[in-house]
């Protein structure tokens, strides 16, 4: 899913701050998502990121 998030961000010209605003997930959590174990997130956070990755359309 991290690859999908990167692709959507690139496609829409978004930086990490734009992703924070769109998903309502903190910047710290997003950095941790991209750099370390992705299983440490709550179901709610993962769902927000998944929804953005597969359903975002600006």
Q: For 5-38, what is each residue's pLDDT tens digit?
A: 889 999 999 999 999 999 999 998 888 888 876 6
Residue range 38-49, pLDDT digits in tens: 667 788 988 998
pLDDT of the residue at 24 = 92
pLDDT of residue 32: 84
Q: Distance between CA atoms of 36 and 56, rounded to whole angstroms?
A: 24
Q: Which residue has the tokens 């709610």?
A: 44
pLDDT of residue 31: 86
N-term to C-term CA, the chain:
19
pLDDT of residue 38: 66
For the four alpha carbons of 10, 16, 19 and 21, in that order, the dihedral sign comes to negative
Q: What are phi and psi of 8, to 5 degrees?
A: -65, -45
């Amino acid at each position: 899913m991290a690859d999908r998030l990167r692709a959507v961000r690139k496609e829409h010209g978004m930086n990490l701050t734009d992703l924070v605003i769109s998903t309502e997930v903190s910047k710290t959590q997003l950095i941790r998502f991209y750099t370390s174990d992705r299983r440490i997130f709550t179901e709610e956070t993962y769902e927000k990121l998944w929804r953005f990755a597969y359903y975002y359309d600006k």
